[in-house]
Amino acid sequence: MHIYIADLFFGSTMRAIGSVLLAVVALSPCGATAADTASAPLYLKGAVLAIDDSAAIVTLTVSNSGSTPPPALSRFALPKQAGPGARDDAVVMLGAAIAANKAIPKWQVRLDSRTALTAVGVPPFNVGEDIAVVGYALNAVDKNKAQPLLQAHYLIGNGKVVPLRAPPR
């Protein structure tokens, strides 16, 4: 009997906590906050400054041109092998992309393995070449100094989008 009463107590407590949380969410402002933009996909366009393909993942150092995403980015063509779900994910992610922070002049961009890039038809990169990517900023610390690091999910160019990995859900 004692366990049953404890279950009732915790059940009503959880309902009360849930009600408070719903009230807080309902009363919160609807505008975009710093937390919202921190998790938004980022659009980065710039020149390749350095290439590191010594590790399993190709990483590029890319200058930040400060460009904003093209208005029709979410309507760029996806490869035919991408299924309907991948197309829907791309439309959502590309449509929500915002420009990378202009105050950060250089970004480290993680792509994928050289093998995976070759499999989707991406030729090797060259220093000085312009690229555009959409991905998510990662919190990386190297030698106690924060670095702007972007995990690329899409390469963009010539009106086409090359998906590199499945976007998070």
Tens digits of residue pLDDT in 100-142: 988 899 999 999 988 988 888 888 899 999 999 999 998 655 5
Contact criterion met (CB below 8 Å) for 69 and 99: yes
Residue 87: what pLDDT?
62
Q: Is the pLDDT reported for residue 46 higher than 50?
A: yes
Mean pLDDT over each residue of the chain, to the nearest integer: 74
Residue 163: what pLDDT?
87
Sign for the pseudo-dihedral over CA of 80, 82, 84, 86: negative
Distance of CA 78 to the CA centre of its chain: 17
User: CA angle 75-94-88, nearest 5°?
Assistant: 70
Residue 141: what pLDDT?
53
Tokens of residue 88, six digits: 């829907």
Tokens of residue 32, six digits: 């975009």
Residue count (the chain):
169
Q: Is the pLDDT reported for residue 6 higher than 50?
A: no
Least confident of 21-35, 39-53, 58-72: 21-35
